[in-house]
Structure 1
Amino acid sequence: MTRLVIVVEKASDWGSYYPSVDVVSAMDYLREPVGADDERTHVINLCRSYKYLGTGYYVSLLAEARGHRVMPSVRTINDLRRRSLYGLDIDDLNQKLTHFLPAGGRDTTDFGTLVYFGETAYPALQDLARQVFEMFPCPLLRIEFERERVWQVASIKPVGLHTLDDAQEDGFATALDSFSRKLWRKPRVRKRSRYDLAMLVDPAEQMPPSNRKALKSFVAAGRELGIEVDPIGKNDYQRLAEYDGLFIRETTASDNHTYRFAHRAEKEGMVVMDDPTSILRCTNKIFLNDLMVSRKLAVPHTEILYRDDSRGMKEVVERLGFPLVLKIPDGSFSRGVVKVEDEAALAAAASSLFQHSALLLAQEFVYTEFDWRIGVLNREALYACKYYMSRGHWQIYNHGAKGTAKSGGFETIPVRDAPTEVVKLALKATNAVGDGLYGVDLKKVNGKPVVIEVNDNPSIDAGVEDVYLGEDLYRRIMQEFLRRMERKRLGIGR
């Protein structure tokens, strides 16, 4: 069971609320004896100030030393103090402020709103409040806006509980009640696990990286090793700090919640796959192509097309010829990939795809009966598959088929039976990316392998990638999580 501790600087700060055994003064918390505590403890630090070396700062600092999950963390306190970080973390939000700010007030040049655990009294600003809370997890924040020609975030500051008026106290109480209930939402199993691993999934995803049976196998494999694997969704962001690690099993993108989860997990010092660096490197095919080329790894002949550059497009055609393949940089599962046979088809496809990206990849067309997929974990080959093209189609997935996307067959074999040169190239490709879990797609062209792409979130489906290794595939991945989490606990590197 989770123990909740609400820390206030002075007892009078809680005077407007019902007494609670969860509420303690900062001095009482700081004076608590340090000892072995089997309870999972969450601390909500509501001190008046988090000034460096002040009372509120020490509450968060010693909470972390005691192994308690505290909000705000010392990292968050430091991030809020460094104004220069605002531009890095919320630059994209500034561009959207005109959509969030309430109507009216044309002559207003400044405006502010309180955020309680990611909630605000202004419905139009709710999405902004949530995003700011995700970046700076702090119980009470005030976002200040200012306008010259356009609205900008002027500051994000912690706020003391003692400064709230009656209406604000009501808003805070409601948000605290909702937030604290989330901490106990799932009771722990009777047998305490050594580690807790969050597995991010989306049950509604049409083409997830793991099917339901595979997800159950991950849970079972973790339990064998003393890891409680807890499936979570995109609305569980606030719970993330409860866990020792994060395993992302939904299709990743650098512009959605999967990247925010990975980034937050890394900042919290958790073990995470996919890590945010791998997501950034793998989900953009332009970056990935340049990375492979810079490492002198074999890839199909590839050119970059730029929007509104018709001359450049003609030159690309002269170099590649027809047919050629157009790709948007962040497509997955064969989506956003078009084969064109002539200039008219190229112009039509480019016009459509340029609506999604300012740059496109143009790649020589290379047909093979199947693609190789080599699964790699921590720089070692894990599994080997052949993915055959969809019947009557030039890709593995045929999104033009009626109904759901249709895919070709597959053949899963021992890694030792895969061509040595294919496995070696796959390992070189992943070494350029990181040391996580990857799936490398390759083709053999004129007898030599070339890298098509590196997937940071590879498919691991029951009945496909696990055909040869069976349950041992899931066990090996969980063993790697266990190894990394134990090393984290000991304070040593990977």
Structure 2
Amino acid sequence: MTRLVIVVEKASDWSSYYPSVDVMSAMDYLREPVGGDDERTHVINLCRSYKYLGTGYYVSLLAEARGHKVMPSVRTVNDLRRRSLYGVDIEDLNTKLTNFLPAGGRDTTDFGILVYFGETAYPALQDLARQVFESFPCPLLRIEFERDRVWQVSSIKPVGLQTLDDAQEDAFAEELDRFSKKLWRKPRARKLYRYDIAMLVDPAEQMPPSNKKALKAFIAAGKELGIEVDPIGKNDYQRLAEYDGLFIRETTASDNHTYRFSHRAEKEGMVVIDDPTSILRCTNKIFLNDLMVSRKLAVPRTEILYRDDSKGMKEVVAKLGFPLVLKIPDGSFSRGVVKVESEQALEQAASGLFQHSALLLAQEFVPTDFDWRIGVLNREPLYACKYYMSRGHWQIYNHGAKGTAKSGGFETIAVKDAPAEVVKLALKATQPIGDGLYGVDLKQVGNKPVVIEVNDNPSIDAGVEDAHLGDALYLQIMQEFLRRMERKRQGITG
């Protein structure tokens, strides 16, 4: 069962609201006996100030020491003290505010909004409010803007309950109620499970990294180890603090919610696969190519094409010849990859791909009947697959005109039966990325393997990647989660 604690600095700060057994004063919370309670506790710290070494600061600090999930965390409190901004997308802020401010607002040079658990009363600024809350999870914030030719964020500050007027108190109460129900709507069966993992999935995704049967296998493997694996979706961002770990089984990208989930979970001190660093390093093929080359690892000959650089395009053709392969940096499942065999085809394909990226990769064409995929977990090989090219096509996936994709066959074998040089190169390729779960794609011509890419979110489908290990594959991944969560609980780092 989960216990919710709302901490206020003074009893009078809650006088406008109904009495609740969930509310206690800061001093009562700080004096509360430590230990002896297996109940999971979540704390909403509504103290008047989070000033360093002040009462509010100590509520968050001691909450973390006691193993309680607290909002705001000490890290958030420290981040809010910084004067720089802030990692929030404000490119179109000037347009939004100019359109939003009421008639006569042209003379306005400053403006502010309140944000309650990521929500604001101003729909035009809701996306900004959500981004700020995701960057700084804090119950009550004020975002202040100023204009000197253009609008910009001047500050993001925590706000105390005692400063709210009647209408603002009503708005805060509504969002507190909604937020707490969303966050703690599901009691955790602590006697049945030692740990809880959120598994981020998108049931509507056409080509997810794991099929439904595989997702069920992960849940079963977790249960065997005393871990509850709970599927969540992109609308469950606020629920992350409920869990001990995050397992992303949705195609990742550095510019969408999967990265925000990963980053938030890491900031919360959770065990995360895929971690945000791995997402950033793996989802851009240009970065990966430079990383492999800098480590002197074998890759196909590769050049970079720049938009509006026709001279550079001719030089690339001279270096690589035809056929060659064009790739957008962040494509997945063979999307955004085009094989060209003439200068005219190159110009036409590049023109289309440059609509999506200012830089493209041009790579020598390495024809093979199949690609190797070596799964790697915590720097150890996990599984080995051969992915054969789609019939009549040069890629594993052949994306049809109607958006459908056909893939070739596969063969899954024991890691020990895969060529030693392939496995060795796959492990070397993941070394500079991290210790997470990866799928390394390689081609082999003769005895020479080359790295094509490293995937931070490798496919694990029932009937494919588990064809050799069976349920043991899912168990090994859950065992790694368990090992990491145990180390977190014991305070072991590294």
Interval of TM-score (by shorter of Structure 1 and Structure 2): over 0.9
3-state SS of 1:52 partner: coil
3-state SS of 2:4 partner: strand
State the partner residue of 2:31. Answer: 31
Aligned-partner Cα distance in 2 for 1:205–1:233 = 11
| Distance change >3 Å, CA 115–CA 373, structure 1 → 2 | same
State the partner residue of 2:292. Answer: 292
Deviation at 1:446, TM superposition (A): 4.0
Aligned-partner Cα distance in 2 for 1:376–1:493 = 21
Matched-pair contact (CA < 8 Å) for 1:2–1:183: no
Aligned-partner Cα distance in 1 for 2:375–2:337 = 23
State the partner residue of 2:277. Answer: 277
Matched-pair contact (CA < 8 Å) for 1:326–1:360: yes
Aligned-partner Cα distance in 1 for 2:351–2:488 = 49
State the partner residue of 1:249. Answer: 249
State the partner residue of 2:162. Answer: 162
| Correspondences of 1:41-60 after superposition (within 5 Å) | 41-60=41-60
1:174-229 CA-to-partner distances (Å, cap 9, x unmatched) read 10010010122223237431111111111111110001110110011011111111
Deviation at 1:71, TM superposition (A): 0.7
Asked whether 1:126 is paired with 2:141, we answer no
Matched-pair contact (CA < 8 Å) for 2:370–2:443: yes
State the partner residue of 1:95. Answer: 91
Matched-pair contact (CA < 8 Å) for 2:328–2:357: yes
1:431-450 CA-to-partner distances (Å, cap 9, x unmatched) read 12111110000001243100
Normalising by structure 2, what TM-score? 0.97
State the partner residue of 1:312. Answer: 312
3-state SS of 2:107 partner: coil
State the partner residue of 2:115. Answer: 115
Aligned-partner Cα distance in 2 for 1:424–1:27 = 58
3-state SS of 1:207 partner: coil
Aligned-partner Cα distance in 2 for 1:222–1:100 = 46
Deviation at 1:400, TM superposition (A): 2.4
3-state SS of 1:181 partner: helix
Asked whether 1:146 is paired with 2:142, we answer no
Aligned-partner Cα distance in 1 for 2:154–2:164 = 21
What is the Cα-based RMSD across aligned positions, in Å? 1.2
State the partner residue of 1:322. Answer: 322
Deviation at 1:395, TM superposition (A): 0.5
State the partner residue of 2:233. Answer: 233
Aligned-partner Cα distance in 2 for 1:182–1:59 = 23
Aligned-partner Cα distance in 2 for 1:238–1:324 = 46
Deviation at 1:403, TM superposition (A): 5.5
Letter in 2 for 1:445: V
Matched-pair contact (CA < 8 Å) for 2:94–2:152: no
State the partner residue of 2:353. Answer: 353
Aligned-partner Cα distance in 1 for 2:265–2:46 = 23
Deviation at 1:356, TM superposition (A): 0.8
State the partner residue of 1:385. Answer: 385
1:142-191 CA-to-partner distances (Å, cap 9, x unmatched) read 00011112211110000000100111111101100100101222232374
Matched-pair contact (CA < 8 Å) for 1:94–1:151: no
3-state SS of 1:41 partner: strand
Aligned-partner Cα distance in 1 for 2:54–2:249 = 41
Letter in 1 for 2:416: R
1:73-109 CA-to-partner distances (Å, cap 9, x unmatched) read 111111101223x24x22xx22131354214422221
State the partner residue of 1:368. Answer: 368
Letter in 1 for 2:294: S
Letter in 2 for 1:302: T
1:48-94 CA-to-partner distances (Å, cap 9, x unmatched) read 1111111111111111111111111111111101223x24x22xx22
Aligned-partner Cα distance in 2 for 1:181–1:117 = 12
State the partner residue of 1:422. Answer: 422
Letter in 2 for 1:237: Y
What is the count of residue pairs matched by the alignment?
490
1:391-433 CA-to-partner distances (Å, cap 9, x unmatched) read 1111000112555211111010111111111111111111121
State the partner residue of 1:394. Answer: 394
Aligned-partner Cα distance in 1 for 2:221–2:251 = 22
Aligned-partner Cα distance in 1 for 2:95–2:335 = 30
Normalising by structure 1, what TM-score? 0.97
Aligned-partner Cα distance in 1 for 2:23–2:310 = 67
Aligned-partner Cα distance in 1 for 2:80–2:465 = 45
| Correspondences of 1:423-442 after superposition (within 5 Å) | 423-442=423-442
Deviation at 1:263, TM superposition (A): 1.2
> Taking every aligned residue pair, what percent have the same amino acid on both sides?
86
Aligned-partner Cα distance in 2 for 1:172–1:477 = 41
Aligned-partner Cα distance in 1 for 2:59–2:166 = 27
3-state SS of 1:151 partner: strand
Aligned-partner Cα distance in 2 for 1:131–1:192 = 36
Aligned-partner Cα distance in 2 for 1:149–1:419 = 63
Aligned-partner Cα distance in 2 for 1:401–1:429 = 34
3-state SS of 1:94 partner: coil
Matched-pair contact (CA < 8 Å) for 1:100–1:128: no
| Correspondences of 1:56-75 after superposition (within 5 Å) | 56-75=56-75
1:107-154 CA-to-partner distances (Å, cap 9, x unmatched) read 221111000000000011111111100110000000001111221111
Aligned-partner Cα distance in 1 for 2:209–2:129 = 31
State the partner residue of 2:82. Answer: 82
Aligned-partner Cα distance in 2 for 1:228–1:28 = 33
Aligned-partner Cα distance in 1 for 2:191–2:60 = 29
State the partner residue of 2:210. Answer: 210
Aligned-partner Cα distance in 1 for 2:224–2:2 = 23
**Structure 1 unmatched runs, 5+:** none
Aligned-partner Cα distance in 2 for 1:298–1:190 = 49
Matched-pair contact (CA < 8 Å) for 1:374–1:385: yes
1:27-60 CA-to-partner distances (Å, cap 9, x unmatched) read 1111211121121111111111111111111111
